[in-house]
Amino acid sequence: MTKVLNLFLVFALTLGSLSLTSQEKLFTAEDAIYRNREIYPVSVPQLQWMGNTNNYVYAKENAIYKVGAKSGTETLLFDIDMINKGLNENKFDSVKRLPRMKFTGYDYCRFVSKNNYFNYNYITNELHWINSVPDSAENIDFEDDTRFIAYTSGNNVFISIDGNLIQVTNDSDEGIVNGQAVHRVEFGIKKGLFWSPDSKKLAFYRKDESMVTNYPLVDIDSRIAKVENTRYPMAGMESHVVTLGVYDILSRRTVFMKTGEPADQYLTSVAWGPEGRYIYIALLNREQNHLKLNKYDASTGDFIELLFEEKHPKYVEPEHPMYFIPGKNDRFIWQSERDGWNHLYLYGTDGELIQQLTKGNWTVTELLGYYDDFNLFIKATKENPLEQNIYLLNIKSGKITRVTPDPGTHTARISKSGKYIIDIFSNTDISREYKLLNKKGKTIRIIKEDIEPLADYKLGDMSIFTLKSDNGDDLYCRMIKPVDFDSTKKYPVIVYVYGGPHAQLITNSWLGGAGLFLNCLAQQGYLVFTLDNRGTANRGRDFEQSIHRNLGVNEVKDQMVGVNYLKTLSYVDPDRIGVDGWSYGGFMVISLMLNNPGVFKVGVAGGPVIDWKYYEVMYGERYMDTPDENPEGYKNANLLNKVDELEGKLLIIHGTKDPTVVWQHSLQFLKHAIDADKDIDYFVYPGHGHNMRGINRAHLYKKITSYFNDYLK
């Protein structure tokens, strides 16, 4: 039997005072979507550093206050009445709430109101209009120095200069899309517009998807339902072609980078050189196993040189652009998993590797930046894969010093000088706390203390521990016991699962990463269990890539390690085990039920992938290759081939306009289940996408809960 590591051998993770017997309140579904603000962790609105100074600002009661980092002296800078006075004097409408401010200097800030951009000088109390965009503007990118605004409207790119518009592209074909994120937002791509450092040029993605098959989504709001087509390249099918254009504002001319053939490649990690003359693109082949970092002349589009290549038999996954060291135009940092973990590498712009900056069996999760000649701030899992702490790396000595003093999951806002850090963190004892630290990790003051927002609520005891996979890997698990737990009773279990790449469900953060809905289920009398299987995030390249070409195999094996452990517990009813998951988790729910008939009495699968050949090119082919290259893998992962094995109650839920896991997946499973005379339950959310948003999410939670209550409890 798999040996269980006691929680206290790993680290002390308990909910402590959150499970006091005096707690009586229970959650509602509306609570679980945080419509009750009283159960929010504490927050400090608009907390940010004030330009290049060592002062930070925050908002309170429609006013902005300045605080000296060293002194702690607090000063009112301005309030909403002062902003409205400036707006009215300039013949603009008043605002009811203080707008989101961005502090870029020591004496002024910027804000947006009704598509108009303003500078407000809080020393002289003067407000100036600086630019505007139309109502149709999307993907807005404000250039701080020139105050130019690049944006998209429809499928074209525009630039606003003092409210005057320049149309950069003029494509009328609906299959040509400019200025938007491409490759279905894979490879860390989050935007499609890139200002040059000198503000004279704008790079933009151009996506030709005219050759990609239209996929029909149906809008039922009109009297005669309408088809809304979306371009959806399925695995193994023709994909879109992307190029990168550079528009010169002075010459009003666009050139495209000569990225060459094959056209069917991915343009990732776009970065300008600091001098604004060159642009860098990481080209990834469609097979996703060969990357080339190339340098191009931004004025002509000419290829200059190949800096380096990365290859791997399974896949290479670039997710970050180059980071140029301030003041050193010929030095940049590249992030790579080439040694098995995401680490930092210092390069020259000639392609020479100067130094590997970090190494070890841990992951750099974020590069926060340089703050002097030798010191670099990073976020990493260095001491514990369940934690993300802030570290200071001296690249000259190689010394890495932990800055954040408390265990847990941290984010950091660092002053421009690098002397001070605003540390925002949580762990299983603290819902959220804000601290001001110096760069050595000494606490200067607590900005906002944790208030235990669930102090009045009845919660089940939560624990985090490890089990072992069949190859000896540690598998982190989280268990939430039912409220009023009695070890002499036998309880039903709900296994909550995701199991796919780029996700980590179990962390040393508030509620262990569980959120409120899983605690709602524990309040209903369920033992709620979660396990992060092989394939999930922050455990290294080999841990993630172990699922390559065989999705649903090792993940299911690992989840069953958890289920078999649960069956050994005297207080678990082995005949009442349920499973719940969404998206990849939906695929896992059905995979677990079909591959282990009779083990799971009830399952709820939301937006499930059923047949990977119906999934999109970029994600699907990274993990499965194409259907022609990997027919056996696709066959084994195809849940339609195993419908006959279904036992127990299964509810499938899907949004009818899901553009990610298209509705066809679950409809195909429903059709095959009917043909196999299998009784499954099916529920749709008309007009919703890949998940339910807003108040309808509370409806979803009620639906899932009632299904388990009806058939598992």
Closest CA to 594 of 643, 552, 526, 557: 643
Mean pLDDT over the full length of the chain: 95
What class has domain 7-40+454-711?
A: alpha beta
* Residue 687 pLDDT exceeds 70: yes
Judge if the upstream peptide bond of residue 453 is cis by omega within 30 degrees of 0. Answer: no
> How far is it, in rounded angstroms, from Cα 463 to Cα 479?
5
Q: Using one digit for the tens of pLDDT, what is the confidence trace for 700-710?
A: 999 999 999 99
3 state DSSP class of 9? helix
DSSP result, 260-295: -S-SSEEEEEEEE-TTSSEEEEEEEETTSSEEEEEE
Instruction: Identify the active-site residue in 290, 312, 690, 699.
Output: 690
pLDDT at res. 36: 85
Q: Using one digit for the tens of pLDDT, what is the confidence trace for 666-680?
A: 999 999 999 999 999
pLDDT at res. 222: 93
CB neighbours of residue 84 within 10 Å: 18
The answer to whether residue 658 is catalytic is yes
Phi then psi for 282, rounded to 5 degrees?
-90, 110
Across the range 256-264, mean pLDDT stands at 96
For the four alpha carbons of 205, 211, 212 and 218, in that order, the dihedral sign comes to positive
* Residue 50 pLDDT exceeds 50: yes
Q: Dihedral, CA atoms, 659, 665, 667, 671, nearest 10 degrees?
A: 170
* Residue 57 pLDDT exceeds 60: yes
Q: Using one digit for the tens of pLDDT, what is the confidence trace for 221-243?
A: 999 999 999 999 999 999 999 99
pLDDT at res. 372: 80
Q: Using one digit for the tens of pLDDT, what is the confidence trace for 572-614?
A: 999 999 999 999 999 999 999 999 999 999 999 999 999 999 9
Question: How open is the CA angle 193-199-203, to the nearest 5 degrees?
Answer: 30
Across the range 533-561, mean pLDDT stands at 98
Q: Are 225 and 219 a contacting pair, CB within 8 Å?
A: yes
Instruction: Identify the active-site residue in 469, 583, 591, 666.
Output: 583
pLDDT at res. 10: 36
3-state secondary structure string across 211-255:
CCCEEEEEECCCCCCEEEEEECCECCCCCCEEEEEEEECCCCEEE
pLDDT at res. 6: 38
Calculate the CA 11 to chain-centre distance.
26
- Could you tell me the residue ranges of all domains in the chain? 7-40+454-711, 42-132
Instruction: Identify the active-site residue in 658, 665, 666, 672.
Output: 658
pLDDT at res. 5: 37
For the four alpha carbons of 534, 540, 542 and 548, in that order, the dihedral sign comes to positive
pLDDT at res. 611: 98
- Structure token pair of residue 52: 């290049």
* Residue 24 pLDDT exceeds 90: no
**Which range among 4-18, 96-110, 165-179, 343-357 shows the weakest confidence by mean pLDDT?**
4-18
The answer to whether residue 690 is catalytic is yes
Q: Which amino acid is located at 216 in the chain?
A: P
Q: Dihedral, CA atoms, 306, 310, 314, 316, nearest 10 degrees?
A: -80
- Exposure string for 249-278, b = 16+ CB within 10 A, e = fewer: beeeebbebebeeeeebbbbbbbbbbebbb
pLDDT at res. 277: 97
Residue 384 burial (C-beta neighbours within 10 Å; 0-12, 13-18, 19+): middle
- For the whole prediction, is pTM greater than 0.75? yes
* Residue 11 pLDDT exceeds 70: no
- Structure token pair of residue 281: 């693109």
Q: Are 536 and 499 a contacting pair, CB within 8 Å?
A: yes
**Which range among 24-38, 45-59, 195-209, 255-269 shows the weakest confidence by mean pLDDT?**
24-38
> How far is it, in rounded angstroms, from Cα 463 to Cα 511?
10
pLDDT at res. 429: 96
> How far is it, in rounded angstroms, from Cα 492 to Cα 455?
26
Q: Are 390 and 408 a contacting pair, CB within 8 Å?
A: no
- Exposure string for 488-500, b = 16+ CB within 10 A, e = fewer: eeebbbbbbbbbb
Q: Are 507 and 454 a contacting pair, CB within 8 Å?
A: no
* Residue 272 pLDDT exceeds 60: yes
Q: At what angle do helices 554-567 and 584-595 cross, to 10 degrees?
A: 70
3 state DSSP class of 183? helix
pLDDT at res. 22: 53
* Residue 560 pLDDT exceeds 90: yes
Across the range 655-668, mean pLDDT stands at 98
Q: At what angle do helices 695-711 and 515-523 cross, to 10 degrees?
A: 30
- Structure token pair of residue 183: 């490759």
